[in-house]
Amino acid sequence: MRFIIVMVTLILCSCGLTENNSPKNIILLIGDGMGEAEIALTRAYEYDGDPDLFVDSMQNRGSVIVKQLREKDPSKFQFTGESAGGATTIATGQRTSDGRISTTAKYGVALKTILEEAIEKGFKTGLVTTAIITDATPAAFAAHATNRYCFMRGDAICGEDTPIIEQMLNHNVDVMIGGGLELLKAKDQNGRLISQMATDLGYQVITERETLLNLPKGTKTLGIFAEHHMPTEWQGYQGRSAQVVPLGDDGRILYPKAQRCEINPEHQGIPSLEEMTVTALNTVTSDQGPGFFLMIEGALIDKQAHIAKPCGTIGAMLAFDRSVKIAMDYAKKHGNTAVIVTADHGTSTQVIYRPEVKDDQLDHDNMPGKYEALLSRNGSIVNAYYGTNNADDQSHTGVNVPIYSYGFAKDVPITGLIEQSDIYAVMKNFLFN
Ligand SMILES: [Zn+2]
């Protein structure tokens, strides 16, 4: 009997030790501009409105209130968000104003980010995006700046701030993958090329997809593809975007014929978000050390919504959704890994009825925005609409954004209605406690 008790105690003890000593990991996936409307559009087009996105299968979900502060008077709110403010809030738990990278509104005090804290504690870290690597979302985890567009030296907007690319490299993030060949050609304070600066810091600088796919595990990587943002995987039929619906000479409406989206030929040779996700996971995975913090951004959901291109948004959404599955498969296989999927803010996409008409006459005053007709898989028409303005840059919207999660204890406040600033504390408690 005593022998059995000793054995049981030993087994329990060793289990406990293994649990405590295992690395703890967080994979945070941010769909930039991924409001419920962008998700609904994608679901309608690809799955005829059925709940067949991978994220639809995630059991724990909540809804996030998005708001930011005003720069001139931070006691006042702005009831929409943008990527710099949103990522700052997720990375630091503090709200800020438009365009700030992990600094406070008005006063510009640097806010410590979860990635910086993770590095201090010996965690591996990674940042992946389909935008330029210095874009607001990744930047807010590994830089501090007044203006999100202070990408590199020579950007007039920098003022006193060190350019974001130099700050990010000096953080020694283990893996960074995104767009921005232009960054590599910029120079640092001493006239040294940024590509050389990265090499001097121990990075393998990669610009070819094949090299990225065959990278040995654990390589400290700066992977840069495309001159600026990466091209989208999909484009509209013959490259078209949503348009103000025109009238023919006889006054009748010229509806665009509903079409399927096309593969964007410019994406050829560019790694997919899934491929970048797999590479980043290989780089930050280690049996030793406390674990890792990895942020993966699907950036083009937002950027294509800005220019009223529903197919670009849908292609980016589906790539993001497949990357979420990769993160979840990893978490289930390795254990001790939490996954959070959320967005920084919504964008202006709407799924609407076919434009209202009277006697075949379209009143543009009642239908002022941009319209595109897409064809779902079973041949239903998906009516996509952008109505925040008629210029070339659609607005963000103040809708709640979803949050999906995995790997947290039941009592962790990450389901139901939450505030964007709550996400930081949840991640911090998981990783560091
Ligand atoms: Zn945007």
Three-state secondary-structure class, residue 165: helix
Query: 207 to each of 14, 182, 213, 355, how far by Cα in Å?
Result: 45, 12, 11, 45
Expressed in angstroms and rounded, the spacing between residue 83 Cα and the centre of ligand 1 is 6
- What predicted TM-score, i.e. pTM, was given to this entire model? 0.93
* DSSP designation for 382: E
- Over residues 145-170, the mean pLDDT reads 95
**C-alpha torsion sign, points 151, 119, 404, 85:** negative
Q: Torsions phi, psi of 361, nearest 5? A: -100, 130
Tell me, in angstroms, the distance from the centre of ligand 1 to residue 81's CA. Answer: 9
CA distances from 281 to 54, 190, 285, 330, 376 (A): 19, 34, 6, 8, 34
Other Cβ atoms closer than 10 A to 413: 14
Ligand 1 center–CA 346 separation, angstroms: 8
Cα–Cα dist 329/2, whole Å: 42
Residue 18: pLDDT over 60: no
User: And the tokens for 359?
Assistant: 């006697």
Beta bridge partners of 30: 297, 342
For residue 179, give the nearest of 126, 134, 132, 128 by alpha carbon. 132
> What tokens does 126 get?
């990674």
| 413 secondary structure, DSSP code | S
What is residue 248's predicted lDDT score, i.e. its pLDDT? Answer: 78
Helix or strand (DSSP H, E) at 374: strand 370-375
pLDDT of residue 44: 98
> 174-231, pLDDT tens digit by residue?
999 999 999 999 999 999 999 999 999 999 999 999 999 999 999 999 999 999 999 9
Q: To the nearest whole percent, how much of the chain has pLDDT over 90?
A: 85
Q: How far apart, in whole angstroms, are the C-alpha atoms of residue 143 and residue 101? A: 7
Question: Which has the closest alpha carbon to 224: 87, 317, 162, 131?
Answer: 131
Residue 187 belongs to a domain: yes
- Pure H helices in 51-161: 83-92, 114-120, 136-142
Report yes or no on 19 lying in a domain: no
pLDDT, residue 7, reads 46
Stretch (H or E) spanning 78? strand 77-78
CATH number at 169 reads 3.40.720.10
Non-local CB neighbours of 185 within 8 Å, separated by 6+ positions: 193, 194, 195
In terms of residue numbers, what domain contains 95?
24-432
Reported as a pLDDT band with limits 50, 70 and 90, residue 254 is confident
Distance 99 CA to ligand 1 centre (A): 11
Choosing from 57, 75, 83, 395, which is the catalytic residue? 83
Residue 18 CB neighbour total at 10 angstroms: 10
Q: Extract the tokens encoding 38.
A: 């962008």
Mean pLDDT value across the chain: 92
Query: Cα of 131 to ligand 1 centre, how many Å?
Result: 11
Among residues 272, 179, 169, 267, the alpha carbon closest in space to that of 223 is found at 179
Whether residue 3 is contained in a domain is answered as: no
In a domain, 205, yes or no: yes
Distance CA 11, CA 272 (A): 44
Q: State yes or no: is 83 an active-site residue.
A: yes
- Tell me the pLDDT tens digit for each residue of 271-317: 999 999 999 999 999 988 999 999 999 999 999 999 999 999 999 99
Residue in the block written with tokens 């567009």: 149
Average pLDDT over residues 13-21: 45
The conformational region for residue 315 under phi > 0 = left, psi -120 to 50 = alpha, else beta, is alpha
How many independent structural domains does the chain possess?
1
169's CB contacts (< 8 A; 6+ apart) are: 194, 197, 198, 201, 203, 222
Q: Which of 28-37, 364-373, 396-405 has the lowest mean pLDDT?
A: 364-373
pLDDT at 1: 45
Mean pLDDT of 98-108: 98
| Total count of residues recorded for the chain | 433
For 111-155, write each residue's pLDDT tens digit: 999 999 999 999 999 999 999 999 999 999 999 999 999 999 988
